[in-house]
């Protein structure tokens, strides 16, 4: 039997990235999960990520420290209130929860680790709901990132293969993501989405909670989230 190909999976511990891990696992990848303690308010997601990685029996799970809170500029990393009860259908405006260059920073680490592991495929859980608001969730950004990574790494210029940034949720709504995850056996009670949790409880009113809650309703699936 041929060896499984290795992949690096960006795993925040959220609904989307956990679904991506389930997809990559179902596609036969040996999964190496990468999470970041980047100064986010919702560090509770890291314990969720560790538990999820353990349940999926991944090859490796690395949690790296970044100082994005010292750069700031976002409601997730600076002393800026997380908006509540807004309309998360952003229609082209970028929410204050945008973290400057976050996906470029996270993906660059993923490429570095992939290079060390001999992996070529990097999975990220961005999707249509996100990319209506966040510039670093759009397909054109991911294509430009892959091009840059293939020019700026030893592996990329080796000619052996090309780094590929895989975003299997890109064109799915939240409800479609949940339906896909359920079909793969994902236990969403393990996941965390809230931007502004109190302890392990979700606030229920930030954009992430609203999108998650609406997604479960639209998918016709009971929402296992522990809201305040």
Beta carbon nearer to its own copies, 148 or 217: 148
Pairing of strands 121-123, 164-166: parallel
Distance CA 177, CA 186 (A): 11
Among 149, 202, 209, 211, binds its own copies (CB under 8 A): 149
Comparing CB distances to its own copies, the nearer of 73 and 204 is 73
24: left (phi over 0), alpha (psi -120 to 50) or beta: alpha
Judge whether 42 and 197 are in contact, CB under 8 Å.
yes
The contact pattern for its own copies, residues 93-132, with x = CB under 8 A and - = no contact, is -x---xxxxxxxx--xx-xxx-xx----------------
Instruction: Kindly tell me which residue out of 54, 55, 64, 80 binds its own copies, with binding defined by CB under 8 A.
Output: 64
Among positions 165-224, residues that touch its own copies (CB under 8 A) are: none
- CA distances for 158 relative to 109, 118, 144, angstroms: 19, 12, 19
Return the SS3 of 37: strand
Q: How far is the CB of 181 from its own copies (least distance, A)?
A: 26
Structure tokens at 122: 């990097």
**Number of residues in the chain:** 228
Count CA within 13 A, CB hemisphere, residue 1.
4
Among 71, 128, 161, 182, binds its own copies (CB under 8 A): 71
Among the residue ranges 70-78, 174-182, 187-195, 204-212, the one whose residues contact its own copies (CB under 8 A) = 70-78
Binding footprint of its own copies on the chain (CB under 8 A): 62, 64-68, 70-73, 94, 98-105, 108-109, 111-113, 115-116, 135-136, 138, 140-141, 144-145, 147-149, 151-157
> What residue numbers does the annotated binding site for ATP cover?
11-21
């Amino acid at each position: 039997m041929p060896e499984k190909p290795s992949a690096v999976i960006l795993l925040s511990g959220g609904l989307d990235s956990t679904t991506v891990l389930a997809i990559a696992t179902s596609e036969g990848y040996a999964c190496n999960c990468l999470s970041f303690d980047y100064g986010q308010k919702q560090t509770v997601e890291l314990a969720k990520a560790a538990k999820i990685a353990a349940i999926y029996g991944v090859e490796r799970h690395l949690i790296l420290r970044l100082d994005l809170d010292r750069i700031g500029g976002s409601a997730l990393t600076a002393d800026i209130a997380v908006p509540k009860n807004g309309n998360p259908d952003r229609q082209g405006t970028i929410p204050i929860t945008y973290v400057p260059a976050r996906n470029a920073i996270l993906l660059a680490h993923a490429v570095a680790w992939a290079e060390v592991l001999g992996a070529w495929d990097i999975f990220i859980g961005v999707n249509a709901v996100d990319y209506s608001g966040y510039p670093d969730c759009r397909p054109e950004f991911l294509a430009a990132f892959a091009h840059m990574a293939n020019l700026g790494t030893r592996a990329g210029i080796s000619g052996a293969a090309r780094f590929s940034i895989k975003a299997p949720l890109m064109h799915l709504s939240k409800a479609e993501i949940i339906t896909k995850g359920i079909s793969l056996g994902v236990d969403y009670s393990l996941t965390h989405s809230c931007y502004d949790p109190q302890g392990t409880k979700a606030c229920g009113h930030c954009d992430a909670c609203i999108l998650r809650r609406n997604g479960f309703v639209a998918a016709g699936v009971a929402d296992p989230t522990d809201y305040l």
